[in-house]
Chains A and B, each alone.
Chain A
Amino acid sequence: MSVNKALLLLIEDDPQFQMLLSTTLENQGYQIVTATTGKEGLIVVRNQQPNLIVLDLGLPDIDGQEVIRSLRKWSEIPIIVLSARHQENEITQALDNGADDYLTKPFSTAVLISRIKALLRRVTKIPGGSQEYFQVGEIKIELTKRLVLVGEREVSLTPIEFKLLSILIRHAGFVVTHRQLLEQVWGASYIEHSHYLRIYMGHLRHKLEADPARPKYLLTEAGVGYRLQDGG
């Protein structure tokens, strides 16, 4: 499957905005199929099996969250959700339900395109398999050897710090919610204990970032989660 021939499904009820997105994305060489309601979107997914979905959370018929939930029952298709600002709860919920990334309106189409590219690349790059090596800026990590280098300097991480970092690496370039991180690193009973995450994130920043108060790699998405800058 060539990336540029990927089929994208836009589920968006506003006709103008849909027109803008499809024009822009068609120009990028993608094939576009559109739906204006959640139910229609679900049917399109079954019939045409697109490679990626761009989903507006505010739909006229069923809740966008519902669309994500029913899709995730049987499909791993990448989903980018679009939402209004100040809906961190909505966004977090969508991500926890299984959406892969989000954008808040208004956004620039360039950002959308780069997110779509990144998601499609992730799907083609690692078909379920694990990654051995990750690099962003001066940080190099060899996952199998558990080796972490900042420039030439080797950094020692505790098991939890390493686990946290490896989850972020697995989702590099994408936001991972607080809940997902807490659950995967500490276990389901720690979901309410967000301070663990803050403290260990602080540790990681102090070990990996040149200026922990101005992180270049371990980015905070306020109210949603964390994003590790993608090495590209």
Chain B
Amino acid sequence: MKNPYFSKDTAEPLQAYLLWGIFITLALTSISWLLRQVLTPSNILLLYMLGVFFVALRFGFWPSIFATLTIIPAFAYFFAPPIFSLAIDDQENLIGLLLLLSVAGVTSNLAKKIRHQAYMAEQREWRASVLYSLSKELAEASKEKEIIEIGVRYIYAEFGGQNTFIFPDEKGQLTYPIEAALDISLKGVNLGVATWVFDHGEIAGNSAESFPNEPALYVPVNGVKGTIGVIALGLESIKIKDFLSEQKQLLDTYVYQIVHTLERAQSAEVAKDAILKMQSETLRNSLLSSISHDLRTPLATIVGAASTLETDGAFLDEHSKRKLVTVISEEAQRMSDLTIKILEMARLEGGEVVLNRQWYAPEEIVGSALQRLDKKLKNRPITIHMPDNLALIQIDAVLLQQVMVNLLDNADKYSPVGLPIDISVVTMPLGLFITIADRGPGIPEQFHQKIFDKFFRVNDECAQSGVGLGLSICKAIIEAHGEEIRVSNRNGGGALFQVYLPLLELPPVINEEVSEFIV
């Protein structure tokens, strides 16, 4: 999209237009000559006036004046008696010719103004549409790199010069752009001039007052808090001093729009950081409160029991000693579980986790989770519905096992002893569902979203509740996989957790073994 009106006024082919003036006069003279029996000289004058109008409107002021000047001798010679002489006898014709002259002068002037206005209107319309599309593109851009690319593109389209944006680094020194240059990026920027512009906030280079011999133009990028960078614009054919005022304005408007968007993007970034900071602050606070409550209680028990054994060990009977030791062991186990969960959550939140996707059999995911909870689930009936020969699926086995363990652990924790946990795997065309369902109290509808929040517990007072991190860990892991987890309540009571694992690519094929069986 290149500006078609760029430097239009200076480029009009004036001489060709003057010829048009002569041509119109010639044409009208010929027509009038052929119709001289029908037309009176005043009619012919009107016809000429029509011609002058046309030339004035179509070709501008000077061609119409030129046409008028050629009309005078043509009229005097061919139509005003005495014919074939430049003399004019009839007073009426003389007055008519004078009138034609003055009308031509006035209309030419008017036409000139109209033409100028039309040009301005077109120019304005063009600018409006360019600015509209610029602001539309800028509005959709959110990253600094995108914004700058858009800016470079638009400035190139408008001014026809390769250009680039230069910003200061962390130390405040202007540096060459780090990103790969576009085709239309200006190369070979003079950083010295750019730095001067950056420091002074004034335009320089390319025939401007400062550094007039520098070929490229350096324009300061002025933001709310002063100059934030410099645009270097390579102008080969034109000079800044020849810029029309609209062009200067347009350049200013472009820069303003781009700066505005850049600053908006930066402040959005700052706001995002602030929110993240706030969230981590909240997390830290909840972490502290949960540590103080959930870890201090078992710790108090351990310290108490251990000190009793330490000081009064000699006076305690074997049975009491056993009881104290069991308490220490159980509470330490509880603390260990909590610590692991908190660390796990911190690890997931910290973005440290890199998925190690490998092909795994779904039955192995379920199997290894059950194996890890072997002791806990010893007395719990478990039913597993799973088709044979399930296709392999690409997952991070360690993390997904954690999800299954947490879900099974919850199912066990929140459903009465002896009621079954049902596990099922259902294949879909593009993935599979793993469902873990219990016969516990279920989860009230209003908490179906909230239960995945960190530190949220449906029943805060419940002694069985953990720290409220198990499901948040599940959610974080599942989301890292780009997968889905949801909860619903079962018919007949109980909670049902469903994990959807999409099939990202077809499972690899293996070279089948030669079917030589051992007997």
Contacts and interface: CB of A to CB of B under 8 A. Distances in A.
Contact of A198 (B361, B382, B517): B361
Nearest to B509: A195
B421 to A, nearest CB: 12
Interface of B: 332, 336, 340, 343-344, 347, 356, 358-361, 363-364, 366-368, 370-371, 382, 384, 386, 388, 392, 397-398, 401, 423, 507-508, 510, 513, 515-519
Contacts of A220: 364, 367-368, 371
B508 A195 contact: yes
A198 B359 contact: yes
A114 to B, nearest CB: 15
Given A214-B382, A223-B397, A195 B513 contact: no
B344 A86 contact: yes
A221 B371 CA distance: 9
Contact of B386 (A198, A213, A222): A213
Contacts of B360: 198
Nearest to A219: B371
Given A212-B363, A223-B397, 7 more contacts: A195-B392, A196-B510, A199-B361, A202-B364, A213-B363, A213-B366, A214-B370
A117 interface: no
A26 interface: no
Interface in A159-217: 159-160, 162, 193-196, 198-199, 201-202, 205-206, 211-215
A156 interface: yes
A202 B207 CA distance: 78
A232 interface: no
Interface string A219-232: 11111000000000
Nearest to A178: B358
Given A160-B513, A199-B510, A214-B382, A222 B368 contact: yes
28 contacts: A86-B344, A86-B347, A156-B517, A156-B519, A157-B517, A157-B518, A158-B513, A158-B515, A158-B516, A158-B518, A159-B518, A195-B359, A195-B392, A195-B510, A198-B360, A198-B364, A198-B392, A199-B510, A202-B361, A202-B363, A205-B367, A211-B384, A212-B363, A214-B370, A219-B371, A220-B364, A220-B367, A223-B398
B507 A201 contact: no
Contacts of B347: 86
A158 B360 CA distance: 21
B367 A195 contact: no
Interface string A120-162: 0000000000000000000000000010000000001111101
Interface residues of A, number: 31
Top 6 A-B residue pairs of the complex, sorted by shortest distance between their CB atoms: A223-B398, A220-B368, A195-B359, A222-B401, A213-B363, A156-B517
Interface of A: 85-86, 88, 106, 146, 156-160, 162, 193-196, 198-199, 201-202, 205-206, 211-215, 219-223
A191 B321 CA distance: 52
A219 B364 CA distance: 9
Contacts, number: 82
Nearest to B366: A213
Given A86-B344, A198-B359, A222-B398, A159 B516 contact: yes
A102 B105 CA distance: 104
Contact of B340 (A85, A160, A193, A206): A85
A178 to B, nearest CB: 8
Contacts of B343: 86
A160 B517 CA distance: 10
A17 to B, nearest CB: 14
Nearest to B390: A202
Question: Which of the listed residues A193, A215, A220 has the most CB atoms from chain B within 10 Å of its own CB?
Answer: A220
Contacts of B359: 194-195, 198
Contacts of A223: 356, 397-398, 401
Contacts of A211: 384
Contacts of B366: 213
Question: Which of the listed residues A88, A198, A202 has the most CB atoms from chain B within 10 Å of its own CB?
Answer: A198
Contacts of A194: 358-359
A223 B355 CA distance: 11
Question: Which of the listed residues B370, B507, B515, B518 has the most CB atoms from chain A within 10 Å of its own CB?
Answer: B518
Contacts of A85: 340
Question: Which of the listed residues A86, A88, A156, A162 has the most CB atoms from chain B within 10 Å of its own CB?
Answer: A86
Given A158-B516, A194-B358, A199-B392, A213 B398 contact: no
A140 to B, nearest CB: 15
B514 to A, nearest CB: 8
A106 B382 CA distance: 28
Nearest to B393: A198
Nearest to B363: A213
B361 A201 contact: yes
A85 B342 CA distance: 13
Nearest to B397: A222
Contacts of B358: 194
A197 B487 CA distance: 33
Question: Which of the listed residues B347, B401, B513 has the most CB atoms from chain A within 10 Å of its own CB?
Answer: B513
A206 B386 CA distance: 13
B506 to A, nearest CB: 11
Contact of B513 (A106, A159, A222): A159
Contacts of A86: 343-344, 347, 398
A206 B397 CA distance: 20
A86 B350 CA distance: 14
Contact of B384 (A157, A214, A222): A214
A158 B510 CA distance: 15
A160 B515 CA distance: 10
Nearest to A160: B513
A146 B510 contact: no
